Structure 1
Amino acid sequence: MPAAASTDRRYDLDWIRVIAFGLLILYHVGMFYVPWDWHVKSPQPVEWLEPVMVFTNPWRLTLLFLVSGAATRFMADKMSAGALTRSRVARLLPPLVFAMFVIVPPQSYYEIVEQIGYAGTFADFYPRYATSSGHWCDADGCLITPTWNHMWFVAYLLVYSLALGGLLALARGRIAAVQKGLEQALAGPGVLIWPAAFLILLRLTLAPLFEITHALVDDWYNHALSFSAFLFGFLIAKSERLKAGFVAWRWPALAVALAAYGCWAGYAWVYRGEGAVPPEALRWAGRVAYGLDQWAFIAAALGFGARHLNRGGPALRYLTVGVFPFYIVHQTVIVVAGHHLARAGLPQALEAAVLIAVTFAACFASYEIVRRLGPLRPLFGLKGGVAANAGASTAAARA
């Protein structure tokens, strides 16, 4: 049976991308409260949030890289490798540079205010931030600036897009054959087994050797994971056979995902904290559970998305374009608002509700302003010109 070609509209992937970015924003709000290290912290850490945060930890960003790869496929099929490369640089590089010098600095400022007691003003801080002349260190190391913080995702996506452009220049004609090979290998339960086996292998081999740093040059486990997901999304984006496979196996995928999450979350809870050292055999079992959790949730999301999220509409058109500006501004809003709200003396539940509301309100407000101002649009990942609510909502146009 030959592989069927899909259309250029994948509403399900658009919805998955929007939902995943929404979860990411909530996750970063949670980072303010969970006991883990972050830029700024609530003075009242909430320990029970750890299993909640662990729920999306293994798969959220890997899913975003996969969907980004799929979006790039729809673009690549309409242009040359050189044109694709130029398009991705124009779309991703200006927001990255702009964010590093305008959006991210308040995060670093409040980080050193809280963590090392920096007493200078932001005006004192910024020239040293921008020129890499600051010396802000504690027992865990020094803050190196300028930094990209949460914009690491965009930096990596840019690098992966450049690498893909090179691969397309060399071997574009092999895409159909590779897609067919994947369809054969992932037939039936293979859609769950083989990607999970690959992620487990990475978790067992590279993860113990290379801590995730988001520093690009030394982040080898993260590159193996994220670039593989990006390429996988690119290769399967137009496969109707694999889309049907995800739909067919969505319920088993969800069952495996929930079971693996229970194992991984239990392991992470029991052995949380610096002094908790699990037996080596249990550590390996935890890595297996993590890899199963990672792929099973992604497969379930792709299956349920293809089955139920296959319609567009005004809300999707708006959000599909808006999530990139949302992503750019959200973490700075959380850091600044969280720092000041923690000093307002509000009950913590109310404080958290206000922080969530302020974050989403600032995201929507920023997007509403930016999309109306032509010169600002490229700095927030939007196409040039003022196109307030007009715009495509296909996965082809979204990274």
Structure 2
Amino acid sequence: MTTAPAQREYFLDSIRAWLMLLGIPFHISLIYSSHTWHVNSIEPSWWLTLFNDFIHAFRMQVFFVISGYFSYMLFLRYPLKRWWKVRVERVGIPMLTAIPLLTLPQFMMLQYVKGKAQNWHTLTPYEKYNTLVWELVSHLWFLLVLVVLTTVSLWIFSRLRQRLSARADRFFAHITLGKLSLLFLLLGIAYAALRRALFIAWPPILSDGLFNFVVMQTLFYLPFFLIGALAFVYPRLKALFTTPSPWCAVAAALAFIAYLLNQRYGSGEAWMYETESVITMLMGLWMVNVVFALGHRLLNFESKRVTYFVNASLFIYLVHHPLTLFFGAYITPHIASNALGFLAGLVFVIGIALVLYEIHLRIPLLRFLFSGKPQNKVASIKVRG
């Protein structure tokens, strides 16, 4: 058992940043996919649909493993209340900032783009509330889930630190990917059973935005968050993820095929969503090995360029969503080629996001609001004539 990493985990910082930035091609490809979204191209693209499905099937599972790893690392550094305050500020302040500055204007724009603004008064009070929850939280959902997981972990991490024992050491000293796969299979089945029970007992609850984010999403990603925390504690577990496993790569590929078949032939009125939860629970675990092993080999170094994108990733992720929807609503209809539109969308969104990031760096209040960190004074920039 260990309580501190031997060195800075550059590859984990990099993976976390690139997983967030992968949200840009994910949402732009969603415009051109066969999935119904806020805005869609006239004709869907099969390869962009495949690309979109692949990212969706594993990205956030790996992200929450890394979040759990760093959360427990910081938990051991700070007093309990200080840890909770720091973690909640880091994710809660940017989330609360983005709602009025980004997702609210985005929601208003979409009301006019989709021609629904005139129908707002016909909705019941609950329908208005639920619509606002879905639309204003939008792509910020993972920040809300992190706030919930951090709060729940006040108890979980405290118990984990107190209950670490020789028995647990022996268990994790002999842990294998096969045992982990069996565990995550059972967790996926348990989650699917809970969802099906709710669907039978009270179907409307699954359409409630707040319940979906706070309860269902939190429950799904909790195992990944905890396995990340345990990977910080137990070197054997971390080594399983950072050592390349051909078995995991093949299993992840087969899980993705199963995911596609379920998307193609499943029915929302039957067991499609429950089946998907089992598949993505397992695929997420196996992709942790694939992504960590590649990242450990290719990204475990210090680089000013990588550090720049690590620092910029959250801001870019927050602003990319309204930029993507603007592109989809007003520019996509004028580009006949889906491939060209996808590439143009990447240039448009990333280019403007980087400009906005550089602008926000020069405004202390915005730097604080979009990072949740107290800001030091920035050295004055001298302009040579």
TM-score (norm 1): 0.80
Aligned residues: 367
Sequence identity percentage? 20
Measure the CA separation in 2 of the matches of 1:162 and 1:302.
Answer: 27
Q: Is structure 2 residue 71 aligned with structure 1 residue 83?
A: no
Q: CA deviation at 1:171?
A: 5.6
Deviations for 1:335-385, whole angstroms, at most 9, x for unmatched residues? 112211034355433222211111111221222122222111121115332
For 1:232, which of 223, 227, 231 is the aligned residue?
227
Pairwise CA distance, 1:298: 2.1
Bigger shift: residues 304-313 or 162-171: 162-171
Work out the CA distance in 1 between the residues paired with 2:146 and 2:29: 24
Match of 1:173 in 2: 162
Aligned amino acid, residue 318 of structure 2: I
Unmatched segments (≥5 aa) in structure 2 = 200-205, 380-385
Matches of 2:304 and 2:375, distance apart in 1: 20
Q: What is the 5 A alignment of 1:130-279?
A: 135=121, 143-144=131-132, 147-169=136-158, 172-175=161-164, 180=169, 183-184=172-173, 186-187=175-176, 189-191=178-180, 193-202=181-190, 204-209=192-197, 215-219=209-213, 220-248=215-243, 250-271=245-266
Q: Which one has the bigger helix percentage?
A: 2
CA distance in 1, matches of 2:282, 2:24: 24
Q: For residues 292-312 of structure 1, give each alpha carbon's deviation from its aligned partner in whole angstroms, at most 9, with x where no partner exists.
A: 323211222123323433212
For the aligned residue pairs, the C-alpha RMSD in angstroms reads 3.3
Question: Which residue of structure 1 aligns with residue 374 of structure 2?
Answer: 384
Partner of 2:19: 20
Structure 1 position 263, deviation (Å): 2.6
Letter in 1 for 2:93: P
Residue aligning to 1:46: 45
- CA spacing shift, 1:357–1:323, aligned 2, 3 Å: same
Return the alpha-carbon distance in structure 1 between the equivalents of residues 144 and 167 of structure 2: 27
TM (norm. structure 2) is: 0.82
Are the equivalent residues in 2 in contact too, given 1:326–1:367 (CA < 8 A)? Answer: yes
Offset, 1:83: 0.4
Unmatched segments (≥5 aa) in structure 1: 121-133, 390-399
d(CA) in 1 for partners of 2:167 and 2:97? 37
- Report Cα offsets for 1:217-261 as digits up to 9, x if no partner: 345442221122212212212432222222345221111111221
Question: How has the CA–CA distance of structure 1 residues 182 and 64 changed in structure 2, closer, same or farther, with 3 Å as cutoff?
Answer: farther
Do the aligned partners of residues 135 and 261 (structure 1) sit closer, same or farther apart at CA in structure 2, a change above 3 Å counting?
same
Q: CA deviation at 1:203?
A: 5.1
State the distance in 2 between where 1:178 and 1:15 align: 34
Distance change >3 Å, CA 52–CA 144, structure 1 → 2:
same
Q: State the 1:5 CA deviation.
A: 5.2
Which residue identity does 2:189 align to in structure 1? Answer: L
SS in 2 for 1:7: coil
CA distance in 2, matches of 1:296, 1:152: 24
Q: Distance in 2 between matches of 1:285 and 1:79?
A: 40
Distance 1:100 1:331 in 2: 12
Residue identity opposite 1:215 in structure 2: G
Corresponding residue for residue 324 of structure 2:
334
Q: Distance in 2 between matches of 1:369 and 1:223?
A: 34
| 1:188/1:103 CA distance change after superposition, 3 Å | closer
Distance 1:301 1:153, change over 3 A: same
